[in-house]
Amino acid sequence: MTKLFSGFPLGNLSLPNRIVMAPMTRVRAAAGGLATPSMAAYYAQRATAGLIVSEGVQPNAVGQSNPGTPGLHTDAQVAAWRPVTDAVHASGGRIFAQVMHGGRVSHPDTTGLQPVGPSAVPAIGDVFTPSGPQPAPVPRALALEEVPEQAESYGSAARRAVEAGFDGVELHGANGYLISQFLSSNANLRTDRYGGPVANRIRFAVEAVEAAVDAVGAARTGIRLSPAGTFWGVQESDIPEMYAALLRELARLEIAYVHLEATADEEVLIELRRAWPGVLIMNPVLPMGPKQTGRTEAEHWLGLGADLISFGRAFVANPDLVERLRIGLPLAPVEEATYYQGGDAGYLTYPAYQYAA
């Protein structure tokens, strides 16, 4: 029998299967970055996943990337998340919060603040704002003394996440957001201890993870990475060397897992699997690419040494994805137009599989 449906120990958790619901932005939060009853229903519907990783949650005000996203930096936000985590746990599930600092991928119309980044280099592309897409603005380069504060924001958000009932946190170190910007060789032009050589470019990522570990413990901390990814115009140099160095530092911290996206050639990813001694979650297809992860892709990566497999879009349209995969039921197609439109349509309206009478 496939390993996909076998149990797996993750940190202090016992997962009933190796299927992870990947973090996906859904922009359904209320004003003030508050989670809602609809969000509680959405995640509870998908609680048969071995692990749910929530949508990206901003750790502070300047870290918000998109309008309509939730936060974990105020008491009201913590209180709003508790019914969500309670609903998941009552349905038998486990849920980590993805802590996501947007860095330069933001806009003053969204936050009222100038975005910050490692350097004053704008992202490539239009960012979402309350009035529609607008060109990414030039961020303010963080002063040297400000960088540790932004790294620590991941720790404070992790502490609030556990207070809100999450089982742990995943730091968003991928897809062109703040940690990814520091890893980048074109978004990060710094000449101080956070820029230049590999040892400096990985420093912010390590300090952010250290902050989370100090706050909630290594067993409750993971990180998502996108080696060689080019989201929002980031480019990376020295990719094998940089990620091997980063994985060595993360291994020292003994965190719960690393979550890799298939943004590099398979040979590179296999080498990173060999370099990482801990638990690996693999997202087998390019995020937002033409393919969706299915059982074939999952089995392929389990065979290559991944421990857990994350599914994104398939979980949007199939709240009962685990059961559909288990017995080979067809997957419902996703309605992409409803990804970010708000409301319950395309959010709570996907049914479980309807058997013929």
State pLDDT tens for residues 22-69. Answer: 999 999 999 999 999 999 999 999 999 999 999 999 999 999 999 999
State pLDDT tens for residues 126-165. Answer: 999 999 999 999 999 999 999 999 999 999 999 999 999 9
Residue by residue, DSSP assigns 118-150 as SSS-PPSSEEP-TTS-EEPPPPEEPPGGGHHHH
Contact between residue 161 and residue 167 where contact means Cβ atoms under 8 Å apart: no
Count how many domains the chain has. Answer: 1
In the chain, the largest separation of any two C-alpha atoms, in whole Å, equals: 67
H or E element in which residue 163 lies: helix 147-163
Nearest-5° Cα angle at 123, 110 to 178: 75
CATH no. for residue 310?
Answer: 3.20.20.70
Contact between residue 321 and residue 351 where contact means Cβ atoms under 8 Å apart: no
> What's residue 184's pLDDT?
98
Helix (H, G, I), strand (E, B) or coil at 287: coil
Check whether 232 has a pLDDT greater than 60.
Answer: yes
Arithmetic mean of pLDDT over the chain: 96
Please give the residue range of the domain that contains residue 326: 3-338
Question: Is 346 among the domain residues?
Answer: no
Burial string for 127-142 (b: 16+ CB within 10 Å, else e) reads bbbeeeeeebbebbbb
Secondary structure percentages of the chain, helix, strand, coil, to 5: 40, 15, 45
Question: Is 95 among the domain residues?
Answer: yes
State pLDDT tens for residues 164-213. Answer: 999 999 999 999 999 999 999 999 999 999 999 999 999 999 999 999 99
Question: Is 27 among the domain residues?
Answer: yes
Helix (H, G, I), strand (E, B) or coil at 87: helix
Q: How far apart are the first and last CA of the chain?
A: 30
Question: Is 354 among the domain residues?
Answer: no
Question: Is 353 among the domain residues?
Answer: no
Q: From CA 310, how far away is CA 306, in angstroms rounded?
A: 10
Q: From CA 330, how far away is CA 28, in angstroms rounded?
A: 27
Check whether 224 has a pLDDT greater than 90.
Answer: yes
Helix (H, G, I), strand (E, B) or coil at 172: strand
Instruction: Look at the pTM and tell me if it is higher than 0.75.
Output: yes
Q: Which residues contact 297 (CB under 8 A, 6 or more apart)?
A: 284, 285, 291, 309
Check whether 1 has a pLDDT greater than 60.
Answer: no
Question: Is 345 among the domain residues?
Answer: no
Question: Is 275 among the domain residues?
Answer: yes
Q: Which residues contact 303 (CB under 8 A, 6 or more apart)?
A: none
The secondary structure of residue 347, as a DSSP letter, is T
> What's residue 291's pLDDT?
76
**Partner residues linked to 34 by β-bridges:** 30
What confidence category does residue 354 fall into, taking pLDDT thresholds of 50, 70 and 90?
A: confident
> What's residue 290's pLDDT?
67
What confidence category does residue 356 fall into, taking pLDDT thresholds of 50, 70 and 90?
A: low
Give the residue numbers annotated as catalytic, written as ranges.
177
Question: Is 343 among the domain residues?
Answer: no
Contact between residue 226 and residue 183 where contact means Cβ atoms under 8 Å apart: no
